[in-house]
Chain A
Amino acid sequence: MSPDDAWKGERVIAQGAEAVLEEGTYLGRQAVLKLRRPKGYRHPQLEETIRVSRTRAEARALRDARSAGIRTPAVLDMDAEGGRLVLEGISGPTVRASIDGLEEEDRSRVAHALGGTLGRLHAAGLVHGDPTTSNFIMEDLPPEGPVSLAVLDISLGGRAEGVEERGVDLRLLGEAFGATHHAHQDLFEVILEGYREAFPDGADEAIARMEVIGARGRYVTKGSREETQEGDG
Chain B
Amino acid sequence: MGQGPVLGIEATAHTASVGIVQPAEDGGVEILTNVSASYLPTEGGIHPREAANHHAEVLPRLIREALAEASIIPGDLEAVAFSQGPGLGPCLRTGASAARALALTVGRPLVGVNHCVAHLEVGRAVLGCQDPVLLYASGGNTQVIAYAAGRYRVFGETLDIGIGNMLDKLGREMGLPFPAGPTLERMALSGERFLPLPYSVKGMDVAFSGILTAALNLHSKGEPTDDLAMSVQETAFAMLVEVTERAMAHVGRDEVLLGGGVAANSRLREMATIMAGERGARCFAPPPRLCVDNGAMIAVLGEMMLDAGATTPLEESGVMQRFRTDEVEVTWR
User: A and B bound?
Assistant: yes
Hey, which bits of chain A sit against chain B, CB under 8 A? 15-18, 37, 39-43, 45-46, 49-50, 129-132, 134, 156, 168, 171-172, 175-176, 178-180, 182-183, 213, 216-230, 232-233
Residue in contact with A228 in the complex, picked from B47, B158, B205, B235, CB distance below 8 Å: B47
Residue B66 CB within 8 A of the other chain: no
Q: How far is the CA of A180 from the CA of B159 in the complex (A)?
A: 20
B1 partner residues in chain A, CB cutoff 8 A:
none
The bracket for how many chain B residues form the interface is 35 or more
- 3 A-B pairs with least C-beta separation: A222-B140, A41-B271, A17-B246
Give the A-B contact count at a CB cut-off of 8 A.
162
**Contact present for A50 and B199 (CB under 8 Å):** yes
**Contact present for B149 and A172 (CB under 8 Å):** no
Knowing A15-B279, A216-B160, say if A179 contacts B153 (CB, 8 Å). yes
A172's nearest neighbour on chain B, judged by CB, is B203
**Contact present for B48 and A229 (CB under 8 Å):** yes
- The CB with the most chain B CB atoms within 10 A, among A50, A183, A219, is that of A219
A16 partner residues in chain B, CB cutoff 8 A:
246, 249
B13's nearest neighbour on chain A, judged by CB, is A222
**Contact present for B141 and A219 (CB under 8 Å):** yes
Knowing A172-B205, A213-B159, A216-B160, say if A132 contacts B250 (CB, 8 Å). yes
Q: Least Cβ distance of A134 to chain B in Å?
A: 6
B52 partner residues in chain A, CB cutoff 8 A:
233
Q: Mark B89-126, 1 if CB is under 8 A from A, else 0.
A: 11001000000000000000000000000000000000
Q: Least Cβ distance of B303 to chain A in Å?
A: 25
**Contact present for A218 and B202 (CB under 8 Å):** no
A176 partner residues in chain B, CB cutoff 8 A:
155, 203-204, 250
**Contact present for A42 and B238 (CB under 8 Å):** yes
Hey, which bits of chain B sit against chain A, CB under 8 A? 12-13, 44-49, 52, 86-90, 93, 139-141, 148-149, 151, 153-162, 165, 169, 194, 196, 199, 201-205, 234-235, 238, 241-242, 245-251, 270-272, 274-275, 277-279, 321-324
**Contact present for A182 and B140 (CB under 8 Å):** no
Q: How far is the CA of A134 from the CA of B250 in the complex (A)?
A: 8
Q: Least Cβ distance of B206 to chain A in Å?
A: 10
A223 partner residues in chain B, CB cutoff 8 A:
13, 45-46, 48, 88, 139-140, 165
Could you write out 5 A-B pairs with CB less than 8 Å apart? Answer: A16-B249, A18-B246, A50-B199, A221-B321, A233-B49
B251's nearest neighbour on chain A, judged by CB, is A180
**Contact present for A43 and B159 (CB under 8 Å):** no
A39 partner residues in chain B, CB cutoff 8 A:
238, 242, 274-275, 278
